[in-house]
Every structure is written in structure tokens, then in C-alpha cells.
Amino acid sequence: MELSIMNATDTTEQARPVFPFTAIVGQEEMKLALILNVIDPKIGGVMIMGDRGTGKSTTVRALVDLLPEIQVVSNDPFNSDPKDPELMSEEVREKIQRNETLEVTTTKINMVDLPLGATEDRVCGTIDIEKALTEGVKAFEPGLLAKANRGILYVDEVNLLDDHLVDVLLDSAASGWNTVEREGISICHPARFILVGSGNPEEGELRPQLLDRFGMHAQIGTVKAPDLRVQIVEQRATFDEEPAAFRSSYQESQDRLTEKLTAARTLLPEVEMSYALRVEISEVCSELDVDGLRGDIVTNRAAKALAAFEGRTEVTPQDIFRVITLCLRHRLRKDPLETIDEGDRVQEVFGRVFGFQEI
């Protein structure tokens, strides 16, 4: 098999200017969760809950500029990886088996917005039954899950989305595949994406069994410090007046962060965590009575991603401290009589098990 590689056309200015990620003030917890998921998509996505007007959507959309480039097969609706069979469409795999030359292009990781009113057909894709029966071909119209493969799928107000659709999204995100079945005809394609959801807790919480499926959970609130509020307002006014000039002033910091993310993705497979630290993570999960093993797995992955982000190949207790609340707070059983916040409970147990306090 041969690969014919060409570069995608660069577009320096987007149709709708995006606020620079490095210009966002505060909300460090949310930004860290998003960055770690870009480094290791297997963390399982992020659920961001917070008040209205706290920059949830702005921050997620700002992530687009930072996303590293990947190689994809040209004109393939599934963003197929030219080298990894697990991330290829059936058509691409068949071409490889026939030793055909694949035309490959380099493009930024894609981010897809899922509208609240989307139907299951729009999300999963549709099969043209008539064409399949009369012409004997699998006539498949790809949906948003196909477009989101190897990218990010963003659902604003995810807590208002139909539970059935949330189930479909989480199943695909966990398995990495989307299967569409109609009248005995089945189509399966790769759908490995980072699921990012945001919502306002006043408008309702997700069911616990669905919330548990998100790798990380970031809670954000309105900035209280008057000087920071003034800074945010001034930045927004400047961006609205001169978006191109504002973006240009942050281009250097944006490029540095993109380079750091790309390096972290490369370094990640080399990052090690000692057996003793893995045991202590599981001890924290056990003491907090976390159901299942997702909490243990996600905390391990997130700590390694953070070490890679900082250019290290060895996980430290400080790394675990910085990510464990994000990974576990939404997995704790709700106690209506409990006076302590879920995040504080996680940190309290962490400190007791690790004998560790924040520096």
C-alpha cells in the first residue's frame, strides 16, 4: 500500500472568529480537563457544569484553534486514519487489501457541534433501504458521529438532551464504534471521539448512570474578584471590536500551547506510574465507595496525561492530586445529609491516603 500525502489548505481566518483559548481568564479546572482529554482521548470526555455566562461554550469552542493536526484519508467521510485499522472505514480497509494507493491529507482535529433538536438519524446516520434492496449496495448517509470520528463532539446543554440520544453518544464514545441497523441491514463505522458536554445545574442534572460515563467532571462558577471581572469584560469588548487584531496578539501563546499539546501526545506512551501510586489511587476510590473501576482507570490516565503535558515521564503524587477531584467527584453517591462538597470529600480522602497536602 502506498500513501500519497498532501497538505490541507491553511485558513488563517475563520468565518466566525473564535476567542483565543490562552486569553481566557480563570476557569483553570475546565481548561485542564479539556487539555488532558486532547492529550489522551481515552480519558472519556468532560462534563462541564456551571452557571449561565461563565464561558463554558466559549472555552470549548476556543479549543479548536489548539487542536493538533492529524493525517486522514482524503474524501473519506469518517476521517479514517491511513495506518490504524481501528480508525478506518470499511471502504478504506478494502482499498488497503487491494493494495491501492491512499491519498492522505493533513488536517486539524475536527470539532462537531450537536444541536439539541438533533434526531437519532442525524446523529447516527441513515441507510437508504430502497437503494440497498434494489441495487444490492449498502447506501449509507453518514451522521454527526461519522464526522466526529477522531475529533471532538460538543453538546451544549447536554442535560436537556433526550436520554436515549445521550445513551447513544456515550455508547459510541466508550466503544469507539457506531452501528446503524435498519430492516436487517447493518452498517458499522469507527466513531472514536472526545465527548464534551456542558450544562447549567439549575436546568436539571444528568442521571447518575449517564454522568458516570463521562471521564471527567468540571464544576465552574462565576468569577467573584472585581479586578478579574473587569479584565474579562474589557477583553470581550476588545475582541468584539477587533477580533482579528485580538486573535493576532495571542497567536504566539496559542502556537506554544499547540506545540506543547502535540509533544505531550507523542510523549504519553512513555509515561510511567509506580505500582505504589496505582494502589493508593484504588484505595482512595475504595474508601469513597466509588462504584465500578472507571474512576480508577480515568484517574490513572489523567495523571499520566498531565505528566506528559508537563514534559515528564514519571507521574508524581502532585499530578494525581491535581486530577483526582475532576475524575471522581461525579462518581460519589449522593447523601442528602452530607454537608461537605463532593470535591472536598475527594481531597480529604486523598490527603489521608497519600499523606499529602496541596503545596
Q: What is the maximum alpha-carbon separation in the chain?
A: 69
Determine phi and psi for 60, rounding to 5 degrees: -65, -45
Q: Which three cell numbers stand for residue 169?
A: 453518544
3-state secondary structure the chain: CCEEEEECCCCCCCCCCCCCHHHCCCCHHHHHHHHHHHHCHHHCCEEEEECCCCCHHHHHHHHHHHCCEEEEECCCCCCCCCCCHHHCCHHHHHHHHCCCCEEEEEEECCEEECCCCCCHHHHHEEECHHHHHHHCCCCEEECHHHHCCCCEEEEECHHHCCHHHHHHHHHHHHHCEEEEEECCEEEEEECCCEEEEEECHHHCCCCHHHHCCCCEEEEECCCCCHHHHHHHHHHHHHHHHCHHHHHHHCHHHHHHHHHHHHHHHHHHHHCECCHHHHHHHHHHHHHCCCCCCHHHHHHHHHHHHHHHHCCCCECCHHHHHHHHHHHHHHHCCCCCCCCCCHHHHHHHHHHHHHCCCCC
Which residues are the active-site residues?
A: 294
Asked whether the beta carbons of 57 and 196 are under 8 A apart, the reply is: no
Q: CA–CA separation, 322 vs 293, rounded Å?
A: 20
First to last CA, the chain: 53
The pair phi, psi for residue 216, each rounded to 5°, is -130, 160
